[in-house]
Chains A and B, each alone.
Chain A
């Protein structure tokens, strides 16, 4: 019958075997708060030294949920949910208002004086 089979000699990683199960799973808020900081640090929210031209010992990459689960010692589905919730939770809704004001200020600054104005004004557009 039709259906795929792995090609001979091709290693296929199975997401279910890795524990990467999709679907509806809700993390306990206590577990979330307990492990949120380390999950966020190891995931991709704050990206340090990603550039491919950096020396190998300096360059960093984000860890996958499976890798984080192995380090933190919790279920990978909880890691996924902690990460997903934290992505939304990093900033309150007021940050969205601040972002709109930042864009207004940045675009206006450039329209008025180009790049040079960035170096003349006292405050950057992020603080205007």
Chain B
């Protein structure tokens, strides 16, 4: 009986993920997420889990970042392609290798919670590192979409990144000169925005994040927007005014975004637009 070359297996799976469109694929230790709330740990989803494969990619195109029209990123910026890469990997693992595997759904469980914190999984596997703005950042690719596969395959783990991408040298320089960074400057929590924090010795501390306001921007014309407009309509006693709300452009727009959630769920990228991490990929002609 031959011993399985797990290194080869891992290499093949990473290669498959890259071939299917991921920019990066790493394997993380599921135990690193054991401090997550009950129900959101890898073993809560797959009791037999031994490793988690995290894929990142499908970054918005440079042309989209450069557009002065917010409607561009609002309607083509989101991508569920990494979800598809994850599903394909999971299917391949089960069909070809005979081990359990599942692509973790990116949508929400009850109580509007995710099934698993994808960003924590990305940090644990070394796909990227935490950022002051919030999204996990990869030093080369910057902001990416993520997919997570939980599997009973006993793959060797990649380690979390030691040298975090955030803050970038340019951001440290900006902080030293003017006491702010690009993301803090574009969306300051004390100025009606979502972000606050400080840089000390090349790290960010005292992070403040207004999740509710950020949600209302990211899901601007998505489900929360629909709920807000519907609430306003139901509160309106005048039938004629109710009609103006229900048939108006805001409500209509929320419906289009809901129908095309696969491309239009995420609708605010401003902290990432100004982020220098990975923006070399955007320096095109």
Contacts and interface: CB of A to CB of B under 8 A. Distances in A.
Interface of A: 1-4, 6, 12, 14-15, 22-29, 32, 80-81, 84-85, 87-89
Contacts of A26: 241, 244-245, 248
Contacts of A85: 243-244, 247-248
22 contacts: A1-B170, A1-B274, A2-B273, A2-B275, A3-B182, A3-B273, A4-B65, A22-B71, A22-B253, A24-B229, A25-B250, A26-B244, A26-B245, A26-B248, A27-B248, A29-B243, A29-B244, A85-B243, A85-B248, A87-B247, A87-B252, A88-B252
A29 B252 CA distance: 17
B282 A2 contact: yes
Interface in B110-139: none
B240 interface: yes
Contact of A84 (B68, B69, B170, B249): B249
Interface of B: 65-71, 170, 174, 182, 228-229, 238, 240-241, 243-250, 252-253, 273-276, 279, 282
Contacts of B279: 2
The interface residues of chain A, by DSSP majority, are classed as: loop
A12 B68 contact: yes
A14 B65 CA distance: 16
A25 B249 CA distance: 8
Contacts of A32: 244
Contacts of A24: 228-229, 250
Contact of B243 (A1, A80, A89): A89
